[in-house]
A = this chain, B = another copy of it.
Amino acid sequence: MPSAELTRTDAVTVKRKRERADYRRDSANAILDEALVAHVGIAVDGQPFVIPMAFGRDGDRLILHGSNASRLLRSLGDGQPVCVAVTLLDGVVLARSQFHTSMDYRSVVIVGVPRLLDGVDEKRRAMEALVEHVAPGRADEARPATDAELRQIVAVEIPIDTASVKARTDGVVDELEDLSLPIWAGLVPVRTEFGAPVAAPDLRDGIALPPSVAPYTRP
Residues of A within 8 A of B (CB): 11, 15-16, 36-37, 39-43, 46-52, 54, 67, 69-71, 80-85, 87, 89, 92, 94-99, 101-103, 105, 107, 109, 111, 127-128, 130-131, 134-135, 138-139, 141-146, 149, 171-172, 174, 178-200, 202-204, 207-210, 212-213, 216
Contacts and interface: CB of A to CB of B under 8 A. Distances in A.
A171 B199 CA distance: 10
B184 A199 contact: yes
A99 B145 contact: yes
Please state the number of chain copies in the assembly: 2
A123 to B, nearest CB: 11
Dominant secondary structure of chain A at its interface with chain B? mixed
A194 B188 contact: yes
A213 B188 CA distance: 8
A134 B192 contact: no
Given A194-B190, A208-B184, A51 B143 contact: no
